[in-house]
Structure formats: structure tokens, C-alpha cells
């Protein structure tokens, strides 16, 4: 018996009593508190606001969009626009090309799930079909249901909409674009948005809270 055969025989012998793989983990944990999500997002360079009652969401978001955008373009994805209602912004058209967003000052999109441990937000293709908008805009605002914040990434994946894999992409965004490759100095906006804010709201009347942040 060669050394190789001896090693393989030992491996096979030690694996004889191994347990069967339990399969994918599908457990769901209760939603994490918004405060933990907000603290994690702040560490990543972003900012979190809310949770707001839904009827107050549009006013709070558009106030931030105006202060960030000035006289520049503010563009919202269709799902975000439907949540906010009318306002001083454009709605991204279905035929828009990536180059059409090159001069956008503020982009607004709706997130699917938040991650408390990292401050990340999952943005699905269904809610944000114009993927380039979130990377070319100077600043980004994400809208998130405060009841859709998971404790960790594994739980967040389980909490994604069941049909999310059927669409083109799921993008996880945690704070603005940043890099530390330039002389070991942290730089924001080097290759993407230089600021990000998440505005959370609560759907049910009994869960509504006064705005924070």
C-alpha cells in the first residue's frame, strides 16, 4: 500500500460513522431592533432615520433629498415613488439606460431587508430594476420597513422575498462607497455614492414610534 492509499484508507475509516448533513438552515429569528441597525450603519459611514409613521415618510425623505440634491436631479425607482407618492423628483423610466443617470444628485430606492449586524440593506431587482442608478448617483436614499430588519446576514437571506432569486440581482448595500487603498486613508465616494441614508417606517399603527435620527 502506498502512502497515498494509506492516507485515503484512514480518511475513509474515520468517516464511517459521520452524521448526515442536516441540510440548509431555514430558521427565522425575530426582527432585530432598529437601534442596532442604525448603530451598525453609522459605523459603516451611513445614517439611519426613523422609524416614522408611514404618512410622515414622504415628507422626511423629500426634505433630505432636497437638502442633498439642491438644484440637481433627484430620481426615484418606481417602487419607491409608489411608496412616497408625488413629489419633486423624477421616476426612473423603464427604457432608461445607465448613462442617463450620470448626473443624478440623489437616487431613491426601496430596500427589501435590513441586516442589524452590518447595517446592510438588500435591494432586489424587482424594487430597483435600474441597478446603475444606485452606483452613479452622488447620494442614495433607501426606504426600509422597520419590521424587515434581521439580526444577521443568514437570517436576512431567509427573509428575502421567495421570488427574489428569479430576478436579475440582489444588491447588498452597507453605507456609502469607501476605500482605504489610497495612502491608507479612508475615502468616501471613490467609486460610487459618497453618502447613504436609510429612512425606516412602520406599517402597523400600534408599532409606530416617534422619529429618531
Domain extent at residue 132: 31-207
Residue 16 lies inside a defined structural domain of this protein: no
Residue 17 lies inside a defined structural domain of this protein: no
User: Tell me: the pLDDT tens digits for 84-142?
Assistant: 988 888 888 878 888 888 899 999 999 999 999 999 999 988 888 888 888 899 999 99
Indicate the number of domains in the chain. Answer: 1
Q: pTM, whole model, 2 decimals?
A: 0.77
Residue 108 lies inside a defined structural domain of this protein: yes
φ, ψ for residue 10 (rounded to 5)? -65, -40
Q: 147: how many CB neighbours lie within 10 A of its CB?
A: 15
Residue 24 lies inside a defined structural domain of this protein: no
> Residue 113 and residue 207: Cα distance in Å, rounded?
18
> Residue 203 and residue 201: Cα distance in Å, rounded?
7
Q: What is the CATH number of the domain that holds 109?
A: 3.40.50.10420
Residue 95 lies inside a defined structural domain of this protein: yes
Residue 117 lies inside a defined structural domain of this protein: yes
User: Tell me: the pLDDT tens digits for 25-78?
Assistant: 665 556 678 999 999 999 989 999 999 998 899 999 999 999 898 888 999 899
Q: Cell numbers for 137, please give them.
A: 448617483
Amino acid at each position: 500500500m502506498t502512502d497515498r492509499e494509506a492516507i485515503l484508507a484512514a480518511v475513509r475509516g474515520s468517516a464511517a460513522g459521520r452524521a448526515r448533513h442536516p441540510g440548509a438552515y431555514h430558521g427565522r429569528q425575530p426582527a432585530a431592533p432598529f437601534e442596532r441597525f442604525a448603530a451598525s450603519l453609522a459605523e459603516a459611514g451611513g445614517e439611519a432615520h426613523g422609524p416614522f409613521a408611514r404618512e410622515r415618510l414622504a415628507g422626511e425623505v423629500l426634505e433630505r433629498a432636497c437638502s442633498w440634491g439642491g438644484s440637481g436631479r433627484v430620481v426615484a425607482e418606481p417602487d419607491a415613488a409608489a411608496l412616497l407618492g408625488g413629489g419633486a423628483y423624477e421616476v426612473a423610466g423603464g427604457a432608461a439606460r445607465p448613462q442617463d443617470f450620470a448626473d443624478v444628485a440623489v437616487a431613491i430606492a426601496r430596500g427589501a431587508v435590513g441586516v442589524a449586524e452590518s447595517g446592510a440593506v438588500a435591494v432586489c431587482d424587482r424594487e430597483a430594476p435600474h441597478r446603475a442608478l444606485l452606483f452613479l448617483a452622488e447620494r442614495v436614499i433607501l426606504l426600509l420597513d422597520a419590521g424587515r430588519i434581521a439580526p444577521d446576514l443568514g437570517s436576512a437571506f431567509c427573509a428575502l422575498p421567495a421570488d427574489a432569486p428569479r430576478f436579475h440581482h440582489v444588491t447588498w448595500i452597507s453605507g456609502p462607497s469607501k476605500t482605504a487603498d489610497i495612502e491608507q486613508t479612508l475615502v468616501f465616494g471613490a467609486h460610487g455614492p459618497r453618502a447613504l441614508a436609510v429612512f425606516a417606517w412602520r406599517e402597523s399603527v400600534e408599532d409606530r414610534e416617534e422619529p429618531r435620527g
